[in-house]
Amino acid sequence: MKPLPPTLRENRRYVLARIDPPWFETDSRTLYEALAETVTALYGDTGMARIQPAVISVRPGYAIVRCIRSTEADLLAALAAVNHAGPQKVAIRSLRTSGTLLALRRAIGGAVTPPATETGEARFQGKTYASIRYQIEKVDLFENGFKSQELLFLTAEDLEE
């Protein structure tokens, strides 16, 4: 089948979004399911058909999401309302909107690099946690208990106290 010429194709908008926490590894499918659920909850099936959200690429800590032109405001609201991707609690924060993928990738350049993480152990409030440290200051603590998995977001300064 011959592809549609560019002038007949629908115009789209591409959104660069940051995924928090950055150590959370996800794939396009999981992210799409979370986004589709939120778009359907907020705008219904007609809204979903109108916006046509799609996850173009996912890198650790970042994702590029696509929608139909003029629906980007709806997509941004839906991205802000996403709170889970699979079992993990996440936050998706839109950073930049662009008309072409090329322009978006050129604009982000080397800025979008996953932070180097350092794993270890840390003590906080008398308990021992597994820790992930990144961007110098940030420390995320995990307690793997029998009943629950406690997750704490602290800074290096908090641990020193």
Partner 1 sequence: MQCTDACVFPYPGGDSSLRRMALLARELGFDSLVAAGSAGGEAYGVEIVGMKVPGGSKEGEGQPPHCGTGREGRTITVARAGDYNANRALLRSGKVKVLRGIQCTPRNSFDHILSRIAAEKCIAVDIDMSSLTSGGGPLRQRALQRYADIVRLHWRFEFPVTLSSGACSILGMRSPRDMESLGRLFGLEEDEAERALRTVSQLLSPGRPVEVVG
Residue ranges that bind partner 1, judged by CB under 8 A: 20-21, 38, 41-42, 73, 76-77, 79-81, 83, 89-91, 93-94, 137-138, 150-155, 157-158, 161
Backbone angles phi, psi at 36, to 5 degrees: -65, -40
Task: Find all residues with CB under 8 Å of 144, minimum gap 6, and list them.
Answer: 130
Residue 88 Cβ vs partner 1, minimum distance, rounded to whole Å: 9
Residue 136 Cβ vs partner 1, minimum distance, rounded to whole Å: 10
**Pick 130 or 151: Cβ nearer partner 1:** 151
Distance CA 27, CA 57 (A): 9
Residue 161 Cβ vs partner 1, minimum distance, rounded to whole Å: 8
**Pick 48 or 90: Cβ nearer partner 1:** 90
Residue 68 Cβ vs partner 1, minimum distance, rounded to whole Å: 16
**Pick 50 or 138: Cβ nearer partner 1:** 138
